[in-house]
Amino acid sequence: MTGSLTVVGLGPGNPDQMTPEARIAVAAAEDFFGYFPYVDRLDLRPDQRRHASDNREELARARAALELAAKGGKVCVVSGGDPGVFAMAAAVCEAIDEGPAEWRDIDLSIVPGLTAMLAVAAKAGAPLGHDFCAISLSNNLKPWEIIEKRLIAAAEAGFVMAFYNPISKARPHQLGDAFAILRRHLPGTVPVIFGRAAGRPDEAIRIVPLSEAESGMADMATCVIVGSAETRIIEREGKRPIVYSPRYFKGGTGEAGA
């Protein structure tokens, strides 16, 4: 009997930001696969089993989950944030694409979650109010030259950018390199938002101009949002400034969706 596999996004870490759909999916599953800190967020029953692994074992984790589901298990693969944004949903799909035919018969569901850039944006104001993109600065799965091209293209096209995986011990320089590239294509006054652990007790939100942005302001728990030339800052006495990107583009019609 073929079982089921559900890929669930747990949100950025605040239990209140986990969706009701995700809670229902967790309650229905029997076996849970995921990165150690994400699996540890779950309050599992005695009849539910954990299969935690290291962060760089995504494909192996996906295959193990699919193997158990193919035997009839009710399996859940958990991700932080949204599982489809630089996370486990793509790894599961890759494993199915490359795996045995029977894996395609598994009942697959992907449950969305609140991703880090949305949590950080909400804390800062509305920096994603106009066109934006998300870029992973990790070169584990793609060459740095491609990242450079995408940074330049996004800056020249006027996109607000959200950076995932901005820095690690193996690549401490890449965020600084990204800022150096962007300074050649964007005004130094463009706001940069460093959002660490948004929504959690150790949350830290910092807003600086691009000219002052440094790699040491981030770690792997940080999502970085770089504004466009259109992004604005509203200063407030005694309060964090509001950062937002207007819904309209200068020279446009002023029409925008709700």
Task: State the helix-helix crossing angle for 174-183 and 144-157, rounded to 10 degrees.
Answer: 30
pLDDT confidence band for 251 (50 / 70 / 90): low
User: What is residue 252's predicted lDDT score, i.e. its pLDDT?
Assistant: 52
Tens-digit pLDDT profile for residues 67-86:
999 999 999 999 999 999 99
Number of C-beta neighbours around residue 130 at 10 A: 20
pLDDT confidence band for 257 (50 / 70 / 90): low
CA distance 16 to 20: 10
- Asked whether the beta carbons of 245 and 227 are under 8 A apart, the reply is yes
Nearest to 179 by CA among 202, 210, 201: 210
> Average pLDDT in the 128-137 region?
98
pLDDT confidence band for 44 (50 / 70 / 90): very high
The answer to whether residue 59 scores a pLDDT higher than 60 is: yes
> Average pLDDT in the 47-59 region?
93
The answer to whether residue 255 scores a pLDDT higher than 70 is: no
> Average pLDDT in the 172-194 region?
97
Nearest to 110 by CA among 136, 141, 135, 85: 85
**Cβ neighbourhood burial of 176 (10 Å; 0-12, 13-18, 19+):** middle
Give the whole-number percent of the chain exceeding pLDDT 90: 90
Q: Mean of the per-residue pLDDT values for the chain?
A: 95
The answer to whether residue 172 scores a pLDDT higher than 90 is: no
Amino acid symbol at 49 = R
Strand ranges across the sheet with 74-79: 49-53, 31-35, 74-79, 4-9, 107-111
Any idea which residue has 């009710």 for tokens? 74
- Asked whether the beta carbons of 111 and 141 are under 8 A apart, the reply is no
CA distance 95 to 60: 9
What is the signed CA dihedral for 84, 88, 89, 90, rounded to 10 degrees? Answer: 90
pTM across the whole model? 0.93
The answer to whether residue 52 scores a pLDDT higher than 90 is: yes
Number of C-beta neighbours around residue 56 at 10 A: 10
Tens-digit pLDDT profile for residues 216-226:
999 989 999 99
Which domains are delineated in the chain? 4-114 (3.40.1010.10), 117-244 (3.30.950.10)
